[in-house]
Every structure is written in C-alpha cells, then in structure tokens.
Amino acid sequence: MILKRLYTSIKNAVFPPRCMACRRLFTRMEHAIGHGCNTEDTGADSFRKLMAPFVCDDCLPQFTAIESPVCPKCGMMFRERVSDDHLCGECLTGVRHVDYARAIGVYDRSLMHAIRAFKYKGRTQLARPLGRMLFELYGRCYGRGGDLRTPPDLIMPVPLHRRRFRERGFNQAYLMIKEWPGLMTTGHAWDSHVVRDGMIRKRRTKPQAGLDKKRRKENIRGAFAVSADTDVKGKHVLLVDDVYTTGATAEECARVLRASGASVVDILTVARTL
C-alpha cells in the first residue's frame, strides 16, 4: 500500500494526470477502486468517489444527479422539482416497449465530458469507474433496499454496428458491464447473466446526434436484431447504454426484443438528457 502510494505520487509528479473533463493538469493521489457495491450511495456520491482519480477538484462537483420527481416508467426527470414521482405525458398516452428506464446523472458538464472522452477519444480507463457507477445504480434498482424491482434474467449492451465497432475498437456499453459478473458474485446472489452479443446491429445508421425525435426514430428503425443463439422468450432483459437521449434507440431495441418474446425490457444508462 505504501509502495503503491509512493509509486503513484512519483508518477503524478513526473506525468501529472489531465482532468478528463476540463483537460487541465491536476495533482491527485489515485484512489483504488474497491469492490463491493454500496447501494446507499446516491449517484452524486458514486460520481465523486469513483471519478476522483480522473477528474479535478473543480470538475468533480459539476454533476447533476437524476433525482425524484421522475416518471416511474421512463425515468424522465421533471424540471418542476416539487411533486412526487408521476407518469409523464408520453408514458400516459403513448406505446412504450421499454418498461423501466433509469440513469445516474444528467448528460451535461463533467459527466458529458467524461463520456465523450471515453467514447470518442478512446479513454477506456473510464470504463471501470463508469461501469461501477452503473453497477451501483443496478444495485439501487434491483438489489436489497432499492426500488426492489425483480432482477433481470439477461443483461445486454446496446450493440454497435460491426464497422463502427472496428473504427472505435470497443463497444462502450459492453466495456462498462464486462466486470459485473465478478461484482455480482462478491456481494450478491442475483441470477442475472451478462450476454455480450445478445443483440446485433444489422444496419449501419447515421449518428443520432443532430436529428430530431421523429428522425431519430426513423433512422434507427430496423437497425437491430436478437442474435440467433440468444433465447429471450419469457425473459426479463436489461439493456445497458451510455446515454439515453430521446429513447429512440432503447425503444427500438425493446420492440425487437419483445417481438422475439421478451416479457420485460428495462434500460440503465450512465446519463440522460433533460
């Protein structure tokens, strides 16, 4: 432990880390990312604790947690902060293939910068803290003392098209849940299984960024399939992704999963737009 601290302080003095959010050099002892899940932690606690080795002191508080009042179904956070959780207009009136969506924080400020650094600049060292934050959210949603929702049978990353995968070199959603099976066995007896290639992206789509809600829906329609060797019949499936924007991607995945017989489809993301 002492040797590791010494090594870290020498390394930081010679190669000071850059903040993943603002890119400034900063000095910080690296905190070891421990095991065991703390479902008492809020999203903001998780962010401070797990992102401290990567984000400077100025940027660490630049995080907005998703907190009640939210829509109990799609997880949308209401701007009006003084009411209880209640269904949003769209969940009241529209067809939803996703039963339950939750996210840790708002897609803005430090969380947005960190996700962009991870996804577009190949800072894959962020997969671990972001994945742990997601795992803690998973614990709050499905574990003891959380929302007490029945744990899912299968956990799948939202897939990338194989060409996008080759360009990027990794699927950010899968990198975040890769270590979950190990975390589950250390503290939980949940019988959920991570399936890396449960879904495939059969059609390459234009980036969703910059498209409005209707165009996003059209753009993504028919892009996904359940892989031939995955049986989702009667299963409760949990999808995992980095960001939830309009929900078009999640809805399309859920539509396809349900057409293949999935009974319930949930999604957890690190961030969502307001």
In the complex, the residues that contact Zn ion under the rule CB under 5 A are 19, 21-22, 56, 59, 71, 73-74, 76, 88, 91
Is 17 or 187 the residue whose CB approaches Zn ion more closely? 17
The answer to whether 68 and 80 have CB atoms below 8 angstroms apart is no
Q: Which strand ranges, in their side-by-side order, compose the sheet holding 236-244?
A: 100-106, 264-272, 236-244, 154-157, 193-194
Is 58 or 231 the residue whose CB approaches Zn ion more closely? 58
Interhelix angle 180-187/127-142, rounded to 10 degrees, is 50
Helix (DSSP H) and strand (DSSP E) numbers for the chain: 10, 7
Instruction: Single out the residue of 243, 252, 240 nearest to residue 274, CA to CA.
Output: 243
User: Rounded to the nearest 5°, which phi and psi values hold at 244?
Assistant: -110, 120
Is 198 or 247 the residue whose CB approaches Zn ion more closely? 247
Give the whole-angstrom CA distance, residue 112 versus residue 110. Answer: 5
CB of 1 to Zn ion, least distance (A): 27
Three-state DSSP state, 147:
coil
User: 202 is written with which tokens?
Assistant: 């059969």
CB of 57 to Zn ion, least distance (A): 8
CB of 112 to Zn ion, least distance (A): 13
Is 51 or 160 the residue whose CB approaches Zn ion more closely? 51
The answer to whether 113 and 126 have CB atoms below 8 angstroms apart is no
CB of 61 to Zn ion, least distance (A): 11
The answer to whether 81 and 52 have CB atoms below 8 angstroms apart is no
CB of 74 to Zn ion, least distance (A): 3
User: 172 is written with which tokens?
Assistant: 């950010």
The answer to whether 128 and 114 have CB atoms below 8 angstroms apart is no
CB of 20 to Zn ion, least distance (A): 8
Is 22 or 225 the residue whose CB approaches Zn ion more closely? 22
Three-state DSSP state, 44:
helix
User: 253 is written with which tokens?
Assistant: 């995945």
Give the whole-angstrom CA distance, residue 233 versus residue 255. Answer: 13
CB of 158 to Zn ion, least distance (A): 19
Is 73 or 97 the residue whose CB approaches Zn ion more closely? 73
Is 89 or 145 the residue whose CB approaches Zn ion more closely? 89
